[in-house]
Structure 1
Amino acid sequence: MDRVTAARVFNRICELGSLSAASRALGISRPMVSRYLEQMEQWAGARLIHRTSRRLTLTPAGEEILLKTRHLIQLAQEIELRNQQNEPSGVLRVACAHLTATCIIGPIVSEFLTRYPALRLELDVNNHPVNLVSERIDVAVRITNNPEPGTIARRLGECRSVLCAAPGYLALHGMPQTPADLAHHNCLHYSRFAGQSWHFTTAEETEVSVDISGNFSATISTVLLDAAVAGCGIAMVPEMEAREALAKGSVVALMAEYEPARLGIYGMYLSREYQPGGLRPFLDMLEDALSGA
């Protein structure tokens, strides 16, 4: 039984003099008001109100309980106000991949910790999915279109990718014009996927897929980008990671009319009700940062 709610209902009954008036004031049904009154009487172990066809009167026990419930409600309001005013504190444990740590979370760390000085942020950088329960992780930030089943997945933004290669590689092997041309190139890819295919969307929003192969794979995009800069082949990496290399001309963006499939960026956690204080402001700040990326 929610005893604080029952106490509030009992107080409104006493203030307004009827169950029906309390029902209207509280916006709950008349039977529910009766149920809360019965629960209060069970809790108190005594009849609290005499009910007649004309009016309600408090019993001696009811008068005593009314004073106590007023103190209870005041205390509950003070606790609620304190909770609203308090800054988040404690530890927030976040799991993410290397790219997410460096390009998405890293840039907001200083502002986040400055804004919430009572919080301690612990970042677990791992390119493999983690078990939120056994590894005591509060939230995992992942780039994926398939959020982990059994979690609450809040979409924070999206990740765009770019197909790129070094000018030296293109001078030797030619410039691909369509996804089909990639079958004749050395494609640098993620090693954690069993089957290798790249997906694109045309300007007409037609989806195109192509199977690719290559002689080098890695579990993190940074290494794939480094290999592309070195002239090893063609890589598909997150645009946010490739910006500097593209600006320097170390790599060139390919096939502008074919956009690599976009991926969602999600904050994944286990419960809406039981959350560490820093979880919501952390995800809010990430979402704000990604909306302006």
Structure 2
Amino acid sequence: MDRVTAATVFNRICELGSLSAAARALDISRPMVSRYLDEMEKWAGTRLLHRSSRRLTITPAGEKILEKTRLLARLAEEISGQGEPGEPQGTLRIACAHSTATHILGPMIPAFLARYPAVRIELEINNQPVSLVGERIDVAVRITNDPEPGAIARRLGECVSVVCASPEYLREHGTPTTPQQLAQHNCLHYSRFAGQRWQFKDAHGEAVTVEVSGNFSAGISSVLCDAAIAGCGLAMVPEMEARVGITSGQLRCVLPDFAPKTLGIYGLYMSRERQPAALRLFLDAVQQKLSESAG
């Protein structure tokens, strides 16, 4: 059997999650899809998928093979002239957190799709890191200073944070003037971080770290903003999340002489010899938007 076709069928099975769905998408019979999968497993010399009556699960060996079959399919498209520069096409599966979707990707995706109508985007919103291979993700856009190993990390921009609270909270509890005074306040936690240490740089560029505590934590920065607006305490959140509250007067920034630690915004994708045009152009567009916002 044609191994390039077998690789293409395997890719579609992994993308769609079932043999029947792959058969419909490729307009071939389900038994033929099963035969191509058997051919792939014989070629690889190992089981690539765990099959049960309810679901398919990719094996660790299958994840490694999937990286190679995606590359093989892309090379075959280029050889046949289907991957011409300037005409990106295909589906991009993108993972990001809720705040990233709301403030960065959501506003720019309509213009991107209008410019590249042959591209289809599937946006997976999850505040927990996902497996790029296991979840069939092409790129994850994450705010972090520690990109995970095993993936290419392209720095797209910076995430600037602010410490803020409602005017009512500050009237009742006072306004801190140094990071050390945060220990006397109810600080709203971002629950993804194991330790509750807020890091700053003073006016001289010296690092300042302070341990904080509070009675509320959440994994979504918009929820922390809402709690701060409601007078629950002080929150350290991305400036882009707090911007509306600050502009409306519902939130006030504190500690103007101490800058919260800046985080990087990265596009993470698996190591590939050739990067799809749509992925490269998408990352370029994100980087441009972040640059314009920073300016």
TM-score, normalised with respect to structure 1: 0.71
Matched residues in 1 for 2:237 and 2:219: separation?
A: 12
User: Given the alignment of the two structures, is residue 204 of structure 1 paired with residue 204 of structure 2, yes or no?
Assistant: yes
Matches of 2:135 and 2:79, distance apart in 1: 32
Give the Cα separation in 2 of the matches to 1:83 and 1:101.
Answer: 28
Q: Deviations over 1:26-50 (max 9, x none)?
A: xxxxxxxxxxxxxxxxxxxxxxxxx
Would you say 1:223 and 2:223 are equivalent positions? yes
Deviation of the 1:192 alpha carbon: 2.3
Aligned residue pairs, count: 217
1:181 matched residue in structure 2: 181
Structure 1 residue 271: Cα displacement: 2.0
CA displacement 1:27-83 (0-9 Å, x = unmatched): xxxxxxxxxxxxxxxxxxxxxxxxxxxxxxxxxxxxxxxxxxxxxxxxxxx959774
> Following the alignment from structure 1 to structure 2, what is the Cα–Cα distance between the partners of residues 111 and 266?
21
Alpha-carbon distance between aligned partners in 1 of 2:85 and 2:290, rounded to the nearest angstrom: 27
- Aligned partner of 1:246 in structure 2 is 246
Partner of 2:97: 97
- Structure 1 residues 251 and 84 mapped into 2: Cα distance closer, same or farther (>3 Å)? same
Identity of aligned residues (%): 61
Q: Distance in 1 between matches of 2:289 and 2:240?
A: 13
What amino acid is the match of 2:242?
Answer: A
TM-score (norm 2): 0.71
Instruction: Give the SS at the match of 2:277.
Output: coil
Distance 1:269 1:82 in 2: 22
CA contact (8 A) 2:196 2:212 kept: yes
Matched ranges for 1:63-102 at <5 A: 83-85=83-85, 87-102=87-102
How far is the alpha carbon of 1:272 from its aligned partner? 3.5
Offset of 1:275 from its aligned partner? 3.2
1: distance between equivalents of 2:125 and 2:85?
A: 32
Q: How far apart in 1 are the matches of 2:176 and 2:120?
A: 48
- 1:54 maps to what in 2? none
Counterpart amino acid of 1:194? A
Cα separation, 1, equivalents of 2:277 and 2:90: 8
1:257 and 2:257 matched: yes
- Structure 1 equivalent of residue 3 of structure 2: none
Checking the alignment, whether the CA contact within 8 Å between 1:152 and 1:269 is kept in structure 2 is yes
Aligned 8 A contact 2:96 2:127 in 1: yes
Instruction: List runs of 5+ in structure 1 lacking aligned partners.
Output: 1-77
Q: Give the Cα separation in 2 of the matches to 1:95 and 1:87.
A: 23
Name 2:22's counterpart in structure 1.
Answer: none
Name 2:130's counterpart in structure 1. Answer: 130
CA distance in 1, matches of 2:133, 2:85: 29
**Residue in 2 aligned with 1:213?**
213
Give the conservation status (yes or no) of the 8 Å contact 1:94–1:123.
yes
Contact 2:85 2:277 in 1 (8 A): no
* 1:107 Cα offset (Å): 1.2
Q: 1:136 to 1:83 in 2, by over 3 A?
A: closer
Alignment correspondent of 1:115: 115
Q: Which runs of 4+ in 1 moved over 2 A?
A: 78-86, 274-277
Correspondence for 2:151: 151
CA contact (8 A) 1:189 1:216 kept: yes
Residue 194 (structure 1) shift: 2.2
CA shift digits 1:163-183 (9 cap, x unpaired): 000000001100000000000
Partner of 1:16: none
Counterpart of 2:142? 142
Code of the aligned partner of 2:131 = N
| Residues 44-63 of structure 1: pairs in structure 2 closer than 5 A | none
CA offsets 1:78-121 (integer angstroms, 9 cap, x no match):
95977444511110000000011010101111110001100100
Which amino acid in structure 1 is aligned with residue 137 of structure 2? I
Q: Name which one, 1 or 2, has greater alpha-carbon Rg.
A: 1
- Tell me the secondary structure at the aligned position of residue 109 of structure 2: helix
Q: Deviations over 1:215-268 (max 9, x none)?
A: 000001000000000000000000011111001100100010000000000000
Is the alpha carbon distance of 1:136 and 1:81 closer, same or farther for their aligned partners in structure 2, counting shifts above 3 Å?
A: closer
1:273 and 2:273 equivalent? yes
Q: Identify the residue that residue 39 of structure 1 maps to in structure 2.
A: none
Describe the shift of the 1:85–1:266 C-alpha distance in structure 2 as closer, same or farther (beyond 3 A): closer
